[in-house]
Amino acid sequence: MDPYDYTWMFGLTTAVAFFDAYALGANDVANSFATSVASGSLTLAQACFVACFTEFLGAFLLGANTSDTIKGGILSVERFVDTPEILMLCMTCALCASAFWVLLATKYGWPVSSTHSIVGSIIGVGIAAFGGNSIEWGWNGVGQIITSWFLSPAAAGVIAAIIYSITKYAILRREDSIKWALRIIPVYFFFTATIEAFYLIYKGAPGTKASKLSTGTIVGISFGVGGIIALFAIFFFCPWLKRRVVNREELKWYHIPVILFLSPRPIKRHDPESNDKETASTASGSIDKKREQEQEEQQEEESNVVENVENSSVKEPASSFEKMKEKILNILLHGIRKDVRNLDNDKIKSVHDAAEIYDSDVEYMFSFLQVITACMASFAHGSNDVSNAVGPLSSVYQIWQTATVDVAGKVPVPLWILAYGGVAIDIGLATFGYKIIRVLGNNITLFTPSRGFSAELAAALTVLTCSKLGLPVSTTHCITGATVGIGLCNGKLSAVNWKMISWCFFSWILTLPVTGLLGGLLFSFAAYAPTLVRL
């Protein structure tokens, strides 16, 4: 093979890598914001808007400068030294199989691991090319993946249950829960900031020198960041929160830095019909009253605009341009105009009814912590998991340019490929991510801000701890296990949708054989098919 041979294969891989990154955004990235949207801390549109920045910046700024030539080291690179074009073909087939499976799983609402998908595809092409003995079947290969099916959700579920139980008995069930929330929230800010800082430095920043720091240095920096955030919460955030929630003052988020110097603000106009929290909570299945009120006001404004447009359309027909504009907007905004909270779903009403309901004011306080946790997890996810899509593309690009395979097993990742993958991830979340957000949210158990915060923090903590111990984990499996752990804290098995959990677990088991079969068949079709050209 000579440099710049098989340009068609490089072009095809570039296109397929976009769809694989698109599928990653629709499935994996949705995990980060599913609980925030389900609890009402963020709307679906807000989650997509925030994720577009956090995922792209995580991928572009902190994405790895190098990637494994073959994900997971499950197949030896040395087998391709004499035939680099075969490695190009393997990566192309693996990306096709991975993209197809993740997109199919997303369509049916199955949260699957993009890492396991690409690894399964590589197993398939490896078997098709060199036989079953070429694959690492032991602990360092397939064994770790099988272990993660059980270890990830179990560990995350236990940690989530511990965090939420502490919150429930230290704050939510207290007689004066608002007072205790204001006292303990700075502590949560400290631990959240410390854990997320450690996550970003230790696991989420492979493209920086920070990943080479010693564990002690990383811990010291993380505690310093947590201390600064906790002091900010004590002197600025909590006073702002008290005036907004307890005193009902008209305050915005940008008043937080100047809250100590801000004179008393007007009292919020209170709707008498919204005083009966118990009735409202029971009817809607949601306890986040303030977020509900804000969303209702926003929906009322939007409905007024729609009514005005409809009234005007009765008087004079809409122009062709306006019709075309509306069609385009419906297509572009299709993914963020969906109802993903499932609060009025009769099929899971019994699951929601089994959940305990607490003071909406206290729950509202946790919404800020939950959003911060989701943003940090999304940022770190963009810096790490983007390699699942751009790693194989980088391998093909490097072989196409040099016609060689690096036996070290590492390949450089250009910035344009990181940006390319980041854009595809964002588009995937915005257009197709609602499928997974709907499943991992209230479709499994009822989520509130305190529950969502506990689940997200537990998932991040599980990934950190297990990675440090060398144990295999998956972020997708972790957030699913944390969701189950939170649901069981209600003290009732009926508080969890076990049918949906069964489907999720079934999809995890299917990932390896399905992607492996697809990848192997595609490679065999391309490599062993009859040809009219005799070499």
Measured distance CA(191)–CA(369) in Å, rounded:
11
- Residue 174 sits at φ, ψ, to 5 deg, of -70, 155
Query: Looking at residue 316, what is its pLDDT?
Result: 47
Position 112, amino acid:
V
Burial 344-367 (b: 16+ CB within 10 A, else e): eeeebeebbebbbbbbbbbbbbbb
What values do phi and psi take at 68, rounded to 5?
Answer: -65, 135
Query: Which of 203-212, 270-279, 310-319 shows the highest mean pLDDT?
Result: 203-212
Beta bridge pairs of residue 67: 411
Assigned token pair, 181: 């929330």
Mean pLDDT of 8-21: 91
Q: Which stretch, 20-29, 47-56, 275-284, 331-340, has highest mean pLDDT?
A: 20-29
Q: Which residue has the tokens 């829960």?
A: 177
Residues 456-471, mean pLDDT to the nearest whole number: 77
In this predicted structure, the answer to whether residue 519 has a pLDDT above a threshold of 80 is yes
Q: By CB neighbour count within 10 A (0-12 exposed, 13-18 middle, 19+ buried), where does 23 fall?
A: buried
The amino acid that residue 410 corresponds to is K
3-state secondary structure 328-370: HHHHHCHHHCCCCCCCCCHHHHHHHHCCCCCCHHHHHHHHHHH
Q: Tell me what the pLDDT averaged over the chain comes to.
A: 79
Q: How far apart are CA 352 and CA 357, in angstroms?
A: 10
In this predicted model, which residue has the larger pLDDT, 249 or 304? 249
Q: Which residue shows structure tokens 């959700």?
A: 153
Beta pairing partners, 524: none
Q: How confident is the model at residue 235 (pLDDT cuts 50, 70, 90)?
A: very high
Give the count of beta carbons closer than 10 Å to the beta carbon of residue 88: 27
Higher-confidence residue of 290 and 189: namely 189
Report which listed range, 53-67, 246-260, 459-473, is most confident.
246-260
Is residue 268 within 8 A of residue 250, CB to CB? The reply is yes
* Crossing angle between the packed helical segments 277-284 and 289-315, to the nearest 10 degrees: 60
Q: Which residues are CB-neighbours of 283 under 8 A, at least 6 positions away?
A: none
Q: How far apart are CA 114 and CA 28, in angstroms?
A: 7
Question: What 3-state class would DSSP assign to 442?
Answer: coil
For 394, half-sphere exposure in the C-beta direction (CA atoms, 13 angstrom radius) is 29
pLDDT of 27-64, one tens digit each?
Answer: 887 777 788 888 888 888 888 888 878 877 777 766 66
Residue 182 to residue 242: CA distance in whole angstroms: 7
What distance in Å separates the CA atoms of residue 51 and residue 34, rounded to the nearest whole number?
Answer: 11
Report whether pLDDT(423) > 90. no
Task: Give this prediction's pTM.
Answer: 0.79
> Residue 272: helix, strand or coil by DSSP?
helix
Over range 126-154, report the average pLDDT. 82
Render pLDDT for 498-512 as a digit per residue (tens, 0 to 9).
888 888 888 888 988
8-12, 19-23, 335-339, 455-459: range with lowest mean pLDDT: 335-339
CA atoms within 13 A on the CB side of 329: 7
Mean pLDDT lowest among 163-177, 447-461, 468-482: 468-482
Of 389 and 105, which is predicted with more confidence? 105
pLDDT at site 272 = 35
Q: Which helix (H) or strand (E) holds 68?
A: strand 66-68
> Is pLDDT larger for residue 343 or for residue 354?
354
Q: Is the pLDDT of residue 345 over 80?
A: no
Q: What is the pLDDT of residue 203?
A: 62
Residue whose tokens read 């980060």: 32
d(CA 336, CA 7): 37
Calpha distance 435→411 (Å, rounded): 34
Task: Identify which has the larger pLDDT, 309 or 44.
Answer: 44
SS3 148: helix
Percent of the chain with pLDDT over 70: 82
Q: What integer pLDDT is reported at residue 102 of this predicted model?
A: 92
- State the pLDDT confidence band at 471, using cuts at 50, 70 and 90: low
pLDDT at 163: 92
